[in-house]
Amino acid sequence: MNESPHASTGTAREVDILVVGAGPAGLFAAYYAGFRGLRVAVMDALSEPGGQVSAMYPEKSILDIAGFPAVKGRELIDRLLAQAAPYDPVYLLGEQAQTLDHAADGRVVVGTSTGRTVTAGAVVVTGGIGTFTPRPLAEGVDFLDRGLSYFVPDLSAHAGRDVVIVGGGDSAFDWAVHLEPIAASVTLVHRRDRFRAHGATVARVRDSSVRVLVNADVAAVRGNGWISEVDIHHRVDKTITTVPAQSVIAALGFTADLGPMTDWGMRIESRHIVVDSRMRTTVPRVYAAGDITDYPGKVRLIAVGFGEAATAVNNAAAALDPDAEIFPGHSTEQEN
For residues 244 and 187, give the distance between their C-alpha atoms in angstroms, rounded to a whole number.
10
Neighbouring-strand partners of residue 244:
229
CATH T-level assignment (fold) for domain 2-132+255-333: FAD/NAD(P)-binding domain (3.50.50)
pLDDT digits (tens, 9 = 90+) for 154-175: 889 999 999 999 999 988 998 9
Q: How far is CA 286 from each of CA 57, 121, 122, 126, 268, rounded to the nearest angstrom?
A: 29, 9, 6, 11, 13
Sorted by sequence, the CB contacts under 8 Å of residue 138 that are 6+ apart come out as none
Please give the single-letter amino acid code of residue 69.
P
Intervals of CATH 3.50.50.60 along the chain: 2-132+255-333, 136-252
Q: Any binding-site annotation on 97?
A: yes
pTM given for the model: 0.76
3-state DSSP assignment of residue 127: coil
Q: What element of type H or E holds 54?
A: helix 51-56
Nearest of 292, 328, 298, 332 to residue 310 by alpha carbon: 328
- Are 300 and 291 in contact by the 8 Å Cβ rule? The answer is yes
Buried b (16+ CB within 10 A) or exposed e, 47-63: ebbbbbbbbbbbbbebe
| Whether pLDDT at 326 is above 70 | yes
pLDDT band at 5 (very low <50, low <70, confident <90, very high): very low
CATH T-level assignment (fold) for domain 136-252: FAD/NAD(P)-binding domain (3.50.50)
Q: Any binding-site annotation on 105?
A: no
Please give the single-letter amino acid code of residue 26.
G
Q: What element of type H or E holds 202?
A: helix 199-206
Sorted by sequence, the CB contacts under 8 Å of residue 229 that are 6+ apart come out as 221, 222, 223, 242, 243, 244, 245
Q: Any binding-site annotation on 332?
A: yes
pLDDT digits (tens, 9 = 90+) for 22-39: 999 999 999 999 999 999
For residues 334 and 336, give the distance between their C-alpha atoms in angstroms, rounded to a whole number.
6
Angle between helices 170-179 and 199-206 in degrees, nearest 10: 40
- Are 134 and 150 in contact by the 8 Å Cβ rule? The answer is yes
Q: Any binding-site annotation on 291?
A: yes
Q: Any binding-site annotation on 201?
A: no
Mean pLDDT of the chain: 91
Q: What are phi and psi of 141, to 5 degrees?
A: -60, -30
Please give the single-letter amino acid code of residue 132.
F
Write down the number of H helices and E strands in the chain.
Answer: 6, 23
3-state DSSP assignment of residue 263: helix
Other beta carbons within 10 angstroms of residue 156's beta carbon come to 8
Q: Any binding-site annotation on 52?
A: yes
pLDDT digits (tens, 9 = 90+) for 224-278: 999 999 999 999 999 999 999 999 999 998 776 788 999 999 999 988 999 999 9
pLDDT of residue 128: 77
Nearest of 168, 173, 251 to residue 214 by alpha carbon: 168
pLDDT of residue 4: 42
Q: Any binding-site annotation on 263?
A: no
- Please work out, in degrees rounded to the nearest 5, the angle formed at the alpha carbon of residue 330 by the alpha carbons of 278 and 85: 85
